Amino acid sequence: MRWSLWVAGGLAGLVFLYLALTPTGHYLVRAGWEEAKILARRRSIVRMAADPRVPPATRKKLQMVLDARAFAKDSLNLAAGRSFATFSQLDSDTLVLVLSAAYRDRLENVTWWFPIVGSVPYKGYFDFARSDGSTIHWCRPRCAPTRSRSPTR
């Protein structure tokens, strides 16, 4: 029994060190933090669309979401579930920047490997200044010209 506590403690320590000392660990912690902020700020779209304290332009957009949701459910027979039922106001218009690249000599995406998800054809950054750092330096001799962008633009 005692050895299992040592093993569990050792694994927890390794996970902590990974999250604290590696760029991927920092990214995962930041992603978790940002997602937690979004979830904590959720508000019902139905209530917000009816709230006179919400600016009229925002209420109009939220009503459009409710109308589209009703159309999908009633006219297209899609299972709406809890989709598009809540809204979270973000601190800025860009949450994450996405860097994608292709090899200079072939039509193939550069991929990056991450724990849990594996290889993906993009790399995300929460800070624009960091998106132009080591990854672009690594890409320059290997990739076609790169560009960071917000995934919503």
Closest CA to 24 of 120, 140, 110: 120
For the whole model, what pTM was predicted? 0.61
Q: Is the pLDDT of residue 32 over 60?
A: yes
Q: Are strands 112-114 and 118-120 parallel, antiparallel or unpaired?
A: antiparallel
Domain spans of the chain?
43-87, 92-153
Residue predicted with more confidence, 133 or 27: 27
Q: What value does the mean pLDDT take over residues 70-78?
A: 92
What is the tens place of the pLDDT at every residue in 75-126?
Answer: 999 988 888 999 998 887 777 777 777 887 888 888 877 777 788 887 777 6
CA–CA separation, 68 vs 73, rounded Å?
9
Residue 146: per-residue pLDDT: 56
